[in-house]
Amino acid sequence: MTNPTDNTSGKKQDMKSTPRNPRRALAGLVAGSGLLLTGCATNAPQDIFQPKGPNAHDINQLQKLVFPIAGIVGVIVLALATYIFLRFRDRGQAIPSQAHGRPIVEITLTVVPALILSVVGVFTFRTIFDLAETQDTEMVINVTGQQWWWEYDYPVQEDFGINQPIITSGQLVMPVGTKVLLRETSRDVIHSYWIPALNGKKDAVPGRINLLRLEADKPGIYAGQCTEFCGLSHANMRMEAVALSREDFAKWVANQQKPYAAPAAGTLAAEGEQVFLNQCVRCHQVNGQKRADGTAVIAAPDENVYSGAAPNLSHLMTRNTFAGAMFDLLRPACRNDVWSAKPEEFGAKYLAGVSEDCLNATDLRAWLRNAPAVKPMYADPTKLGPTDGKYRGMPALGLSETDIDKLVAYLLTLK
């Protein structure tokens, strides 16, 4: 027995009651605090709690109801469980009398959760049906996912000045305050389209067309991320939705429908066009591009690429990103200028496109030099057997530095 007056034994008891490893406890506290502090991040473009459109607002309103209810239920359950663990833990005592069948308790434990779920269910179903509404759609964009980029094509819609289809990738451009319906599908595996500030996720499934509505309140760029694991570069399959005012969107449409203008003869860009014709048109299309004999240049990605498609590079320099929105076409300072622009100034800055001064030549050149080295892709020529000899992603083309100079000069003309 321990003598209460025995200081030595008392010390031992005190030591037992203190944490065994204070450093570990401190590390846990710091990690937990760090985790909590992530909620205070201001530069979090994919924060689901900062909605920028009515669909995301609906989801946010729903979570404001569901999270507190779920939180309270969770706290009660955890508190009760903790109490039971502590109160009834084994101390060698006799097993208490076992009761079976308490109708009042059982009915309460059935009815109360049912009522809670009913309340949550009513609001959830209402939100789901609201988000699934398509009857009042104003604009349609076809979205096709493939490893590891998104293609956007705009069908003819004369209300928006789209008299011929527009095809682009990396950045989805849409007018502000417009109910835009995305018709999503995939060319290879399942992907998932998610711009958190504008709406929830929607899978892009091969052989299906899934509908997702986006609408932005203000001009700006809204970042997103593929959220269905889709292979090697899933983490690099980014997307950005660009919302422009109606006027700016009309300018963007007009620019996208501009005919192709070949670079002036004798320039570095003209030499770059030849490199493009020799190397890039096997997969990439630039609408309107013609060969010396006047015939249209037709890319054949279906012969070289697993998905049968490669990004259409018409008006490439009107986009801010490339390689599945993994890399910026703008240098950090210019990018920051666009991203942080006030809504009323955003359109003009975005429509300015990529100038030579603002071009992120480092990443673009690295991409042209050896694409698989900067973005993981199944592009090893010796391992293409399972895909019938076709590439997933862009292979290393073995371009010389001179050819890269020419190509960059040519790509800069695609505005």
Partner 1 sequence: MFSSGSKYLLGITGLSLAAAVIYAFTVNPSDIGAIALLGLMVAGGFLAGINLHNGSGDAATAEEAVAAASPAPRDSAWPAVLALGTALVLVGLATVPVVFILGLAVMTGGAVEWLTLNWADRASNDRRYNNDMVRTRSVGPLEYPAASAVALGAVAYLFSRVMLNVSKSAGAALFIVIASVVVTVAFLAAYRPSFRGRPLVAVLALGALVLVGAGVYTGIDGERAQLAKYSKEDPYSITHRECGPEESEHYDHHAGNAVNLRANVLATVFVKDGKAYAELIGIKKPVNSITIARSNDVNILFRNLDEKEHRMVIHLGEKAVAETGVVEKLENCTQLAGKNQEQLLTVNIKKPTIAMKDGYKIEVPGAEGEIEVIVP
Note the residues at the interface with partner 1 (CB under 8 A): 134, 137, 139-140, 142, 144, 151, 153-157, 164-167, 181, 183, 185, 187, 206-209, 211, 285, 287, 296, 298-302, 307-309, 312
Q: Which CB atom, from 121 or from 155, has the smaller least distance to partner 1?
A: 155
207-225 as b/e: b if 16+ CB within 10 A? eeebebbbbbbebbbbbbb
Give me the least distance between CB of 71 and partner 1, in Å please: 37
3-class DSSP assignment, residue 357: coil
Check if the beta carbon of residue 193 is closer than 8 Å to that of residue 202.
yes
Check if the beta carbon of residue 182 is closer than 8 Å to that of residue 143.
yes
| Cα dihedral 361→239→177→141 (10° resolution) | 110
Q: Which CB atom, from 50 or from 257, has the smaller least distance to partner 1?
A: 257
Give me the least distance between CB of 311 and partner 1, in Å please: 12
The distance of Cα 159 from the centroid of its chain, to the nearest Å, equals 29
One-letter amino acid for residue 282 of the chain: R
Both tokens of residue 127?
């939100």
Give me the least distance between CB of 264 and partner 1, in Å please: 24
Q: How far apart are CA 275 and CA 268, in angstroms?
A: 11
Check if the beta carbon of residue 350 is closer than 8 Å to that of residue 320.
yes
Give me the least distance between CB of 139 and partner 1, in Å please: 8
Q: Which CB atom, from 139 or from 394, has the smaller least distance to partner 1?
A: 139
Q: How far apart are CA 167 and CA 147, in angstroms?
A: 17
The distance of Cα 339 from the centroid of its chain, to the nearest Å, equals 16
Q: Which CB atom, from 204 or from 323, has the smaller least distance to partner 1?
A: 204
Q: Which CB atom, from 287 or from 360, has the smaller least distance to partner 1?
A: 287
Q: Which CB atom, from 127 or from 312, has the smaller least distance to partner 1?
A: 312
Give me the least distance between CB of 199 and partner 1, in Å please: 15
Give me the least distance between CB of 193 and partner 1, in Å please: 15
